[in-house]
Amino acid sequence: GTLSVLAGTLDVRGSNSIGRVDVAGGGALAYGVTNTPFGNAAINLSSNAIFGQSYSIGATISDRTISNQINILGDVKFGIGAATGSGGYASHLSGNVDLGGANRTLTVANTTYLYGVITNGGIVVNRLDTDLSSPKLLYLYGVNTYEGATTVTGVLDQSNNPVLGLGNDSALGRGGLTLAGSGSLIVKAISHPSVISNSDRTITNAILINSGVSGVFDAGTNSMVTLDGSATNILVNNMILRGAISGEGSLVKTNSGSLTLTAPLSYLGGTTVADGNLVLVKTNLTATISSSTVGINFSNNVSAGTYPVLPGALNGTYSPATYDNLSPGQSAAFNQSTGQVVVTGNPISKTTPTITVTPGSYTYTGSIQGPGVNEVNKGGSTGGVTLSYAGTGSTTYGSSATPPINAGTYTLTATVAADSTYNEASSTPTAFTIAKATPTVSVAPTASAVTAGALLSSSSLSGGTASVPGTFAWTTPSTVVNSTASYPVTFTPNDGVNYNTASS
């Protein structure tokens, strides 16, 4: 059947089988004790409806999460406690949320976790005016696809402005994020409770910070309780914002991690780094700003000129900025009041050095050999050297950074990295040879006797000692033996690739 709440508060504390749930304007639907109070029914919330957990269900997130589809048909409140004066708990909702094709105002009376997919509309997040206590959180974990904007509205000097937690890179759907009203509004990088490792939160949505608002971006350490309550993990959630940030408000970085901004910045209210690092990635530089230091790493060969680091003032007290990768003779100065860095002097025009290799003489030894770094003339450059060896002709080898072992013909190409004065350059492939080694025969073999007039080949050879394995044979086996005499013997190594034959 259908469960309808037309007015007042209905508190459901048991498992039920319900076909449909409707909460009319002014009605409040509460639940507790079990996470299946509404069976599989979709929950339809009309304008001014109130919905949330009112009584203990269990100690873990898994126990407390209800999975019903939620259809939002107007502006609603999440959280029973402060909304009704009857106490209450945070709501854990894993069902998908349909906004009904319109912008819906969600007043966060108690902290609310939305794990499902949000579709079909836009979101305005408000604080509860009658609750002046601690801030309430709206955490979004779904791969959301709603097309409208997400707007968070704050009030000046109030401690309970809503906190927006982003537990998925698509948490904000496909529209922009607007921080509106006044006061400080926190946007926090978080992980899903099922995630037990550090993770960066990358947000591509455009962000608008209105006048009078401080957009506080919290990236760093978080204490996350697992779904089953078995552990509390201390995770680091850094944040990367790839969408443009505009408006007349200010930006504040908090928590111990890093916030990285990669898109155009035009917000006018200044920047404060309270903790951790703010990293700004620009075409010509990358700047890393902490609460007291500024470090700027320039791209290669940056030209003289003025480069924006921030769209306006950097608030706080900073030691002199440090600069990396300037060319000799260049200097830089960071202007804290304008957020710009001025580079003076143009980079020195680099030249390309001539790299040469002078090989030595090499004979097979069983170890690697060939020209190395010491045989490379870098043409004045101080860059590091990398070597590439390759075989030529019938020699098969490489390309390899390791010198060869076997006898054969090779080339070496040396590459020298760029430094502040010279470009990267390589030598022409320079030929070198590892010659075959010649074995040593220390004991000649013994020949068997033959009859005068017989061919030398009829005498067999036995014994003999050489420096490497191989075989002995008569050098001229067709010679006719007419008298006792000495005849030449040839030693042939088994390893014919790396050794010559030898005579005895």
Two structure tokens written together for 192: 């899903």
C-alpha 133/C-alpha 79 separation (Å) is: 14
In tens, the pLDDT along 42-59 reads 999 999 999 999 887 877
| Lowest mean pLDDT across 248-257, 425-434, 447-456 | 447-456
Mean pLDDT on 460-465: 94
Q: What are the E-state strand segments in 19-59?
A: 20-23, 28-31, 42-45, 50-53
Looking at residue 76, what is its pLDDT?
97
What integer is the mean pLDDT of 276-283?
Answer: 97
Ordered by start, the domain boundaries in the chain are: 301-348, 356-435, 441-503
Arithmetic mean of pLDDT over the chain = 93
| The two structure tokens encoding residue 102 | 């319109």
pLDDT at 261 (0 to 100): 99
Q: What is the pLDDT of residue 458?
A: 94
Tokens 């010559």 locate to 500
Question: 473: Cβ–Cβ under 8 A, 6 or more apart, which residues?
Answer: 461, 489, 490, 492
Q: What is the mean pLDDT of residues 173-197?
A: 93
For the cut 50, the answer to whether the pLDDT of residue 86 exceeds it is: no
Query: What is the number of residues in the chain?
Result: 504
Q: Give the pLDDT band of residue 348 (cuts 50, 70, 90).
A: confident
Tell me the pLDDT tens digit for each residue of 8-55.
999 998 899 999 999 998 899 999 888 999 999 999 999 999 999 988
pLDDT at 234: 87
- β-strands 245-246, 239-241: how paired? unpaired
**DSSP label of 47:** T
> What's the half-sphere exposure (Cβ side, CA atoms, 13 Å) at 116?
18
The pLDDT tens digits for 389-399 are 999 999 999 89
Tell me what the mean pLDDT of segment 73-80 comes to: 94
* Beta strands 112-114 and 137-140, pairing class: parallel
Structure tokens at 400: 């390899």
pLDDT at 121 over 60: yes
Residue 433 · residue 426 · CB < 8 Å: no
Transcribe 148-159 into DSSP letters.
Answer: S-EEEEE-TT-T
What confidence tier does 82 reach under pLDDT thresholds 50, 70, 90? Answer: very low
Give the pLDDT band of residue 85 (cuts 50, 70, 90). Answer: very low
What pLDDT sits at residue 280?
Answer: 98
Distance of CA 278 to the CA centre of its chain: 17
> Cβ of 429: how many Cβ atoms within 10 Å?
15
- Under DSSP, the state recorded for 84 is H
**152 or 346: which leads in pLDDT:** 152
Provide CATH code, domain 356-435.
2.60.40
pLDDT of 83 > 60? The answer is: no
Query: pLDDT confidence of 81, banded at 50, 70, 90?
Result: low
Across 282-396, where does the E strand assignment appear? Answer: 285-289, 294-298, 305-308, 314-315, 322-324, 331-335, 340-344, 356-357, 362-363, 376-377, 385-391
- Reduce the DSSP state of residue 56 to 3 states and report it: coil
Other C-beta atoms lying within 10 Å of the C-beta of residue 496 = 12
Q: How many CA atoms lie within 13 A of 186 on its CB side?
A: 20
Per-residue pLDDT tens for 97-118?
A: 999 999 999 999 889 999 999 9
Q: How far apart are CA 232 and CA 397, in angstroms?
A: 55
- Spatial contact of 61 and 26, defined as CB atoms under 8 Å apart: no
Do 257 and 276 touch, CB atoms closer than 8 A?
yes
Contact 472, 450 (CB under 8 A): no
**pLDDT reported for residue 174:** 97
Distance between CA atoms of 353 and 427, rounded to whole angstroms? 10
**Which residue has 């029914």 as its token pair?**
41
Q: Write out the two tokens for 76.
A: 């609603």
Helix, strand, coil percentages (3-state) for the chain, rounded to 5, are: 5, 45, 55
Query: What residues are paired with 72 via a beta bridge?
Result: 45
Q: Which three-class secondary structure string do you get for 91-110?
A: EEECCCEEEEEEEEEEEECC
Model confidence pLDDT, tens digit, residues 206-259:
999 999 999 999 999 988 777 776 677 788 899 999 999 999 999 999 999 999
Site of tokens 């100690």: 59
In this structure, how many other beta carbons lie within 10 angstroms of the beta carbon of residue 329?
11
